[in-house]
RNA sequence: GCAGGGGUGGGAGAGUGGUUAAAUCCAGCGGUCUGUAAAAUCGCCGACUUCGGUCUACGCAGGUUCGAAUCCUGCCCCCUGCACCA
């Protein structure tokens, strides 16, 4: 593959918000590629939550592109910076995590990341390797390369400043620490979400100070969540987890609004622009339903993360359960084996039984009552109007999509 | 340390002595409709209940009152400015 083609792949879907920056980065990348050596590529991930989401795999897919072209890819875990909490993606301060939490999260992260990245070609490191050891003197030297004004100019800081919201010094230091990672890794390229631009730039500044050639910055768009508006994130609840079951994932992808479909295709699949265009054209000519495009999207994504077979099964499950509204054959089971008679009531059981995600079918008995009042519960296909006792074999439907089977 | 502002339900934010389990908005949940989309539309959204009620809740602890989220006292926490320090 020639350099031009490589460049085309590597720069695809980047998002800089500034055309000049983009063309500069592209030129720099081209120069590096022409050196014909394996480049050092990395992307950092803060282990602040256990679950990676589809949002995270955008950068991982880009790492994989580099990987496939023979470059050295480092999956960097923000073991140290996670302690600070990145101010980038929020207008508010993040809670700090304990070291144990972070370590546990980090382990989970790598396991999940290998769904996208090739384990044999990926180096996993954590930035506490070097940030933990840095001396106060070195630290102050790092600080001296930045001014307060530079930080205050940053959009999310200036907003908070103007709103009289607190800005903690530790948050300022975040970008600095992250920039130092680039120095330590002698990075040629760093990948990140477009909200990370400031942090990635800090890397360039520091690398120059350390007489390294500054890294090329590749920023990618932020994936919106299932609500179609806000950034996908665990804390907002609009996320699709990388670790979710194919059926679940299929369903969640089906629930994104139409407006988000195109960007999902671009960011999460390898479909070409031409193919995508022709898909949408078919919809316009009514050769295809809009929902079918979305199903295709879900199939593509699940194929990549799991397998084609599982994607196909998930699609069938979806069609049977939700489109034809059949009762699924597999559902959450609840054993009443050793329950006392008074615990066999529908309300009690819904309050006890857990969904796969760990939530209860109903948070309280009051909620069950409300659901009953609202015609939301049916047993074996019949809507019920009052609390009853359940027997083994009963199939309970709660709302549209939640099912529970009673077993011995 | 000083001065000012503030702490209300998942979030935002009303309410300054009684019809307040607490307006309104957002989020969430459910019914109808549908494509687990969007839009519409109707409803729910502290807990427990033998459905008559009971209990808990407006930073914490006391107090005044027939009655407090609302008044008083003490404490805790947050923000801004100043001072101290540099």
Together in a domain, A135 and A21: yes
Average pLDDT over residues A297-313: 96
Quick one: which of A26, A20, A78, A16 has its CA closest to A222? A16
Tens digit of each residue's pLDDT (9 = 90 or more) over A244-295: 889 989 999 999 999 999 999 999 999 988 999 999 999 888 888 999 999 9
Confidence of residue A86 (pLDDT cuts 50, 70, 90): low
Quick one: which of A19, A146, A171, A27 has its CA closest to A91? A171
Average pLDDT over residues A194-200: 90
Together in a domain, A351 and A305: no
Q: Which nucleotide C1' is nearest A258 CA?
A: B37
DSSP tag of A78: -
Q: Point out the domain boundary residue: A281, A296, A323.
A: A323
pLDDT confidence of residue A230: 85
**Would you say residue A120 lies in a domain?**
yes
Q: Which nucleotide C1' is nearest A369 CA?
A: B44
Q: How far is Cα A4 from Cα A361, in angstroms, rounded to an integer?
A: 54
Confidence of residue A90 (pLDDT cuts 50, 70, 90): very low
pLDDT confidence of residue A357: 80
Q: Does strand B come within 7 Å of the CB of A162?
A: no
Q: Does strand B come within 7 Å of the CB of A176?
A: no
The SS3 of residue A279 is helix
pLDDT confidence of residue A165: 63
Q: Does strand B come within 7 Å of the CB of A345?
A: no
Interatomic CA–C1' length for residue A355 and nucleotide B50, angstroms: 31
Q: Does strand B come within 7 Å of the CB of A157?
A: no
Mean residue pLDDT across chain A: 88
Which positions 365-384 on chain A have a beta carbon less than 7 angstroms from any atom of strand B? Answer: 365-367, 369-371, 374-376
Quick one: which of A278, A185, A218 has its CA closest to A58? A218
CA dihedral A55, A57, A63, A67 (to 10 degrees): -170
pLDDT confidence of residue A234: 78
Q: Which nucleotide C1' is nearest A323 CA?
A: B35
pLDDT confidence of residue A322: 86
Q: Does strand B come within 7 Å of the CB of A363?
A: yes
pLDDT confidence of residue A79: 81
Q: Print burial letters for A202-227: b (CB count within 10 Å at least 16), e (below 16).
A: bbbbbbeeeebebbbbbbbbbbbbbe
Together in a domain, A145 and A214: yes
Q: Does strand B come within 7 Å of the CB of A315?
A: no
Domain count for chain A: 3
Confidence of residue A9 (pLDDT cuts 50, 70, 90): very high
The residue segments making up the domain with residue A157 are 3-220
Q: At residue A198, does pLDDT exceed 50?
A: yes
Helical residues (DSSP H) of A70-168, grouped into ranges: 81-84, 99-113, 128-131, 136-143, 148-153, 155-162
Together in a domain, A185 and A255: no
Q: For the domain that residue A376 is a member of, what is the CATH number?
A: 3.10.290.10
Q: Point out the domain boundary residue: A280, A299, A323.
A: A323
CB-CB neighbours of A262 under 10 Å: 14
Interatomic CA–C1' length for residue A296 and nucleotide B25, angstroms: 37
Together in a domain, A200 and A256: no
**Would you say residue A255 lies in a domain?**
yes
Confidence of residue A59 (pLDDT cuts 50, 70, 90): very high
Q: At residue A192, does pLDDT exceed 90?
A: yes
Residue A323 Ramachandran class (φ > 0 left, ψ -120 to 50 alpha, else beta): alpha
> Out of A164-173, A220-229, A275-284, A357-366, which region has the weakest mean confidence (pLDDT)?
A164-173
pLDDT confidence of residue A221: 94
A66 membership: H or E segment, kind and range: helix A54-68
DSSP tag of A196: G
Together in a domain, A56 and A194: yes
Tens digit of each residue's pLDDT (9 = 90 or more) over A109-135: 899 999 999 999 999 999 989 998 999
Confidence of residue A366 (pLDDT cuts 50, 70, 90): very high
pLDDT confidence of residue A89: 41
pLDDT confidence of residue A91: 37
């Amino acid at each position: 593959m020639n350099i031009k083609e490589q460049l085309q792949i590597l720069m695809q879907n980047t998002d800089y918000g500034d055309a000049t920056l983009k063309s500069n980065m592209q030129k720099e990348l081209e120069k590096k590629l022409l050196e014909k050596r394996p480049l050092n590529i990395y992307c950092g991930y803060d282990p602040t939550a256990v679950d990676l989401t589809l949002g995270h795999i955008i950068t991982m897919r880009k790492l994989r592109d580099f990987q496939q072209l023979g470059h050295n890819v480092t999956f960097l875990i923000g073991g140290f910076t996670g302690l600070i909490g990145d101010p980038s993606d929020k207008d508010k301060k993040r809670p700090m995590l304990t070291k144990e939490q972070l370590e546990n999260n980090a382990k989970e992260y790598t396991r999940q990341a290998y769904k996208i990245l090739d384990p044999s070609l990926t180096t996993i490191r954590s930035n506490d390797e070097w940030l933990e050891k840095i001396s106060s003197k070195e630290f102050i030297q790092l600080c001296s390369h930045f001014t307060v004004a530079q930080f205050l100019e940053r959009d999310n800081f200036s907003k908070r400043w103007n709103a009289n919201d607190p800005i903690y010094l530790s948050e300022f230091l975040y970008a600095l620490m992250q920039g130092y990672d680039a120095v330590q890794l002698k990075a040629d390229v760093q990948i990140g979400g477009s909200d990370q631009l400031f942090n990635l730039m800090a890397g360039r500044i520091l690398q120059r100070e350390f007489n390294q050639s500054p890294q090329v910055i590749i920023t990618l768009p932020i994936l919106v969540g299932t609500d179609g508006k806000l950034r996908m994130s665990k804390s907002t609840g609009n996320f699709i987890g990388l670790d979710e079951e194919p059926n679940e994932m299929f369903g969640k992808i089906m629930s994104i609004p139409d407006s988000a479909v195109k960007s999902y295709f671009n960011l999460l699949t390898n479909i070409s622009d031409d193919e995508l265009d022709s898909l949408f054209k078919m919809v316009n000519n009514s050769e295809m339903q809009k929902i079918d495009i979305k199903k295709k999207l879900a199939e593509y994504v699940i194929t990549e993360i799991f397998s084609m077979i599982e994607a196909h099964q998930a699609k069938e499950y979806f069609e049977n359960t939700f489109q034809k509204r059949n009762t699924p054959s597999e559902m959450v089971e609840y054993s009443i084996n050793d329950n006392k008679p008074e615990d066999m009531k529908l309300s009690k059981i819904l309050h006890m039984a857990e969904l796969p995600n760990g939530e209860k079918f109903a948070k309280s008995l009051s909620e069950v009552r409300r659901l009953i009042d609202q015609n939301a519960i049916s047993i074996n296909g019949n809507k019920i109007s009052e609390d009853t006792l359940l027997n083994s074999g009963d199939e309970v439907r709660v709302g549209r999509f939640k099912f529970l089977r009673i077993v011995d």
